[in-house]
Amino acid sequence: MPRISKMELLKLQKSLKTDAAIGEKFGITRQAIHQFRNLYGIPSLQAKNDKRNAYIISLHKKGLSGVKIAKKVGLCVSQTCRIIKNAGMKSKAKKKKR
């Protein structure tokens, strides 16, 4: 099993984002990368999701559409709308004209 240094893991986490992608690069499992992160005390990038989701909800409350919010935060529209829906709100999706 390859040994990954803390600095290398931090750099890879910034560029590849997910444990699965980092593991694929080294030919090891996502779980192994997770164990390395725990060993080095590196938090998952998903820990920032609550803050991001709160920001998405605040933008939605200000009247921005799911499409505009998605572009602003760098997510796909469906995931942005799912976050809004999971917060108990209705998304303001535009209806297509036919």
Q: What is the pLDDT of residues 15-25, one digit of tens each?
A: 888 888 999 99
3-state class percentages of the chain: helix first, strand second, coil last, to nearest 5: 65, 0, 35
On whether the pTM is more than 0.85, the answer is: no
Query: Residues of the chain with pLDDT > 70: what percent?
Result: 89
Among left, alpha and beta (phi > 0; psi -120 to 50; other), residue 3 is: beta
The 8-class DSSP code of residue 46 comes to: G
Contacts 24+ apart (CB under 8 A), 27-32: 27/2, 28/1, 28/2, 32/1
Q: What is the pLDDT of residues 52-64, one digit of tens each?
A: 999 999 999 999 9
